[in-house]
Amino acid sequence: MTCLPQSTDKKLGLVIDLDICVGCQACATSCKEWNTGGYSAPLSDHDPYGADPSGVWLNRVHSYEYERDGAAGTLHFPRSCLHCEEPDCVTVCPTGASYKRAEDGIVLVNPDTCIGCKLCSWACPYGAREYDHDHGVMKKCTLCVDRIYNETLEEEDRVPACVRACPTGARAFGDLGNPASDVSRSVEERKGFSLLEEFGMKPVNRYLPPRQRPAPPPEPAEPVAVADGSALETLFAWVDRTLSSRR
Q: What is the pLDDT of residue 189?
A: 96
pLDDT in tens, 129-142: 999 999 999 999 99
Residue burial 117-154, b: 16+ Cβ < 10 Å; e: rest: eebbbebbbbebbbebeebebbbbbbbbbebbeeeeee
For residue 245, what is the enclosing H or E element? helix 231-245
Is the pLDDT at 70 greater than 80? The verdict is: no
Distance of CA 226 to the CA centre of its chain: 56
Total-model pTM: 0.83
Rounded mean pLDDT of 226-236? 66
Specify the pLDDT at position 7. 87
27: nearest Cα among 71, 77, 97 = 77
Half-sphere exposure at residue 11, Cβ-oriented, CA atoms within 13 angstroms: 19
pLDDT digits (tens, 9 = 90+) for 187-212: 999 999 999 999 999 999 999 999 87
**How do residues 91-129 score in pLDDT, each as one tens digit?**
999 999 999 999 999 999 999 999 999 999 999 999 999
Helix (H) or strand (E) holding 27: helix 26-36
